[in-house]
Amino acid sequence: MSANWDRARAVADAVLYEGYLLYPYRANSRKNQSRWQFGVLGPQGAADAGIGEDATLSAQALVHPHGVPSISGVVRFLQLQHRAAERDVDGRFQQVDELRAGAQRWLSWDEAVECEVPIEPFRVTSLPRTFDISVAAGSDVEAVEGGRLVRTRRSLHGQLAISGEEDGDLLRLTFEVRNTAAPAADKEKE
């Protein structure tokens, strides 16, 4: 990996994690009841219904096309994961807001899992191109003193569309990421 790629990744990480790492300031603070992050893509229609973010995000880049350039990259994003703390009560698990065991403390809370979808090199002569982006749902159980933590993730479905057009001596590339999940009926199903 080149030094330029490392610098680009550092900037991308700053944007990707900015809202995630600063949140929560305090879980019970009213202003922290809803997380905000740059680049969150809601389900189709969520923004119009007032229950979420837009379903698309786009960016453009100008490149100097020496010969026939090729494009490659990585789509990186955070997948929401709910962490439920569960107390062991006589062999049965009961979900709680907070699980304490000695000095240890675990909250039921939303976390994130970093995901990457590589885009293999292709020549710009094959533009426009669309790539499917899918991440499976999943769950993990972690045993902790006095109970367990159950982490669950919903599946994600999206697309990356890349197009290009001449702009003088340059090539203008447009990248659009789109959430293709089913429309949300309410904020809890977003």
What pLDDT, in 10s, does the model give residues 123-176? 988 899 999 999 999 999 999 999 999 999 999 999 999 999 999 999 999 999
**What's the pTM?**
0.78
Number of domains in the chain: 2
Q: Do 140 and 95 belong together in one domain? A: yes
Over 70: is that where the pLDDT of 31 sits?
A: no
Q: Do 46 and 34 belong together in one domain? A: no
CA distance 153 to 136: 8
Q: Do 21 and 50 belong together in one domain? A: no
Q: Do 60 and 3 belong together in one domain? A: no
Residue-number span of the structural domain to which 2 is assigned = 1-38
Q: Do 3 and 71 belong together in one domain? A: no
Nearest in space to 158 (alpha carbons), one of 55, 78, 71: 55
Q: Do 33 and 109 belong together in one domain? A: no
Q: Do 30 and 61 belong together in one domain? A: no
Predicted pLDDT at 176: 97
Nearest in space to 182 (alpha carbons), one of 23, 73, 50, 45: 45
Q: Which of 51-60, 85-94, 179-188 has the highest mean pLDDT?
A: 85-94
